[in-house]
Structure 1
Amino acid sequence: LEKAHGGTLYLSEVGALPPAAQQALLRTLVESKFNRVGGAVGVPIDVRVISSSSQNIATIIESGGFRSDLFHRLSIVPLQLSPLKERREDIPPLVDMFIEQVCKLHNLRSLTIGPDAVAVLQAQDWPGNARQLRNSIERLLILVKDQTPPDGVITAALLPSDIGEVLPTVGDSDSSAHLMSLPLRDAREVFERQYLLAQIERFGGNISKTAEFVGMERSALHRKIKSLGL
């Protein structure tokens, strides 16, 4: 608190604070001062507090695990952040930022990620959101530091198997054999259906983003989706 005087204090996972810490924090927010450990004189502070939680605080309050008065003190300007799987367009810039951070942290040579690898990452649901994505990027960079090609581009083939398994596909070997038995027109329709389904899933159902990536006008993509019965 004292170090944050005149600045910002960020409290991550505030819902996990024990009762005694909640009471002390509430008193500090109300009085704008705190007592050092073992001290008897209040130390005035001017701090902006930002807190976050991956849990539903309202539910914790109902169960008696979090003080409602502290919650109302903290939630003056509440912000609800959607899960990462609902904003997959944020994944590429997040990946670029995490790569830069991790390379500096571990003194690794500068690397970039290829579009095929980005597609795999965008196909993930990321239940742990940005934190899970960052951890995966850090693990990836440590594992592939001696395998990356001279151009420093990480391709989908270099991704760990637990990530690569969710690569959008357009069919397995059986469906490929089936395609070979079809006339060109029918085979093209099967491929287009599977390809567009994979891309729509990749972009979280966002038709505009999908159209931009596949190189079609939005209206044309809508017509194609309708004609394929998607």
Structure 2
Amino acid sequence: MDPLAFLAGAAAAAGVCAALPLYVRARRAERLADRLSEELAVERHAACHDPLTGLPNRRAFYQRGAALVGDPAVHPLVAVVLDVDGFKQINDMFGHSAGDEVLVTTARRLAEYAGSGLVARLGGDEFAGLLARRHDSPEEQADRLAEALAAPMPLGGQVVTVSVSVGLVPVEPDAHLADAVHRADAAMYRTKGTRRRPHLAGYTAFTQHQHVVHASLRLGKPRLPAEKESFPRPTTAT
């Protein structure tokens, strides 16, 4: 064997052995950097999104919304505030998991209705949005949105229709977002004030049924056989 070739091969092998630990450390560093980047992205997403519905949260809504209001290219806009009618009663009668389901369904329907618009969960059962203004009046647009969100949904072993109260006002390019949201919130409460009771088709009969059962338990009376129980048919409350 040529001594020079042997020495060259040995030197190359030694170089590879020396470089291998550096390569391993570099790969470890890359994997660590990727993991930290993913964790940072998750933390950033969590900081500006609602964990239950996945919608932007209050902080993100005001940050992104202010930029939208200040951009003349996206106008005309309307500000929307809405909440779920009778949400406390839903939690009381069906349980908090059912209440969460109502919020998730409402959020999904609101996002679908908004399309490219901005929608968010402000907290509790309250949602907000910045949507494209349509040709009809704000009242008519609010009614259409309420109808879109009020489609029947399964809840507590039955199908019910959970209504929402919507407030909607036009937003001018030089408006302050907080002022627009405040006006939409006031409009929403005016709408809610015109309702005699929450619109919960299928829910009214269920609550009356529960009240009868609870009263029987308090008085120590046995529950009536199913064939003798008589409860109102589910009706659409207005």
- Higher RCO (CA-CA < 8 Å; seq separation 6+): 2
TM-score with structure 2 setting the length: 0.21
TM-score with structure 1 setting the length: 0.22
More strand by share: 2
